[in-house]
Amino acid sequence: MPGPGQPQFGWGAPPGGPKPPKKRRGGLIAALVLLGVLVVGVTALKIVSAALKGDGDPTYARPTTTTSYSPTNQPTKEPSGQPTNNVPTAKPTARPTTQAPRPTATRSTATAKPTTKPGPTDSDLVLRNRLYKAGGMASVSCKESKARQSTVAGARANYKNLWGCLNRAWAPLVTKAGGRFRAPTVKIFSGTITTPCGTHSDSGPPFFCGTTDTIYMNLTEDIGNYNRYPQAYQKVWARMWMLHQFAHEYGHHIQNNMGILQAYSRIRYERPNYAMELQDSRRLELQASCFSDIFIGANRRTYPITGQSLFQWRWLIGHVTDNANDHGDANNHQYWATRGYNSRNPGVCNTFAASAAKVQ
């Protein structure tokens, strides 16, 4: 099961989208089966940096410290009575005529130890994260790149464009939630690639590595999807698939930025069985897709997600295959993706508080 130092994957690309419906006829072509995900390790063939990683603390603001002190009462000694003169062995014949002074309060000169205000717990970070109350995402008027992913240059232009749009869209929400926003690094690969999160092949999907806060986009997959089919609607599907996958991996970056990914890893580590670990993984992945479609929904008018683009987006979010049982089935993926798209608010993406049935 992946933790923050292990890759968070997207879904494997299905073999193309459906034909658009003909006039006066409804329904979709039968759903196509998704390609399985295969992760193998050899050596890195090609790594191209597409952006520089930002810095900053992904958690909330540092806790403040408070000091206090309590005065101590230090009474003086009571004076003893004086003996009478010339009677050394006799008891004193006179009582003291003066009373002991009343004790006075004195300030302690010792330095008081500061007390540290406790930070959020792991449960707080996943169940009550401040991001859930940050409000809706505003459109940043993101427009699709005019380049097409038929070439390396075209794919890189799309990644760079989406990277900039997603940074502008998420930064205000992270800041409002008390986090310190930083942009992720983006790298593209073909063949196999060795990362701090392991060695992976382009026969698998793109992935996110929390150790380096880096999105790794599968160049072979995105170019291959676009060039594989000659039909115009299939090329629209390929563009929507790339959009959703990039935004999904960026969703993992937001989880990393807000401490959700780290808390998830610690919670998962304490689970008593593998079934509960798988459920945690599904919660994490379905939330990343919900975050993905918050962005897509917020910029639906300018990108734009209309006509054939909307048709293909709706198809792909409902046609995923979860062979490893760690990402969520098609119905639940569609449920969370649609919630994000319609609301544009991270408050509806709290998969960690959802019932088990909603994260199957």
Confidence of residue 247 (pLDDT cuts 50, 70, 90): very high
Distances (CA, A) of 331 to 199, 294, 358: 31, 18, 9
- Check residue 15 and give its pLDDT: 63
Fill in the amino acid letter for 238.
A
Fill in the amino acid letter for 274.
Y
Asked whether the predicted pLDDT for residue 29 surpasses 90, the reply is: no
Lowest mean pLDDT among 15-29, 46-60, 153-167: 46-60
Confidence of residue 3 (pLDDT cuts 50, 70, 90): low
pTM attached to this predicted model? 0.74
Residue spans of alpha helices (H) in the chain: 122-127, 152-176, 219-228, 232-257, 260-269, 274-298, 307-317, 330-343
Q: Looking at residue 195, what DSSP letter applies?
A: E
d(CA 227, CA 103): 92
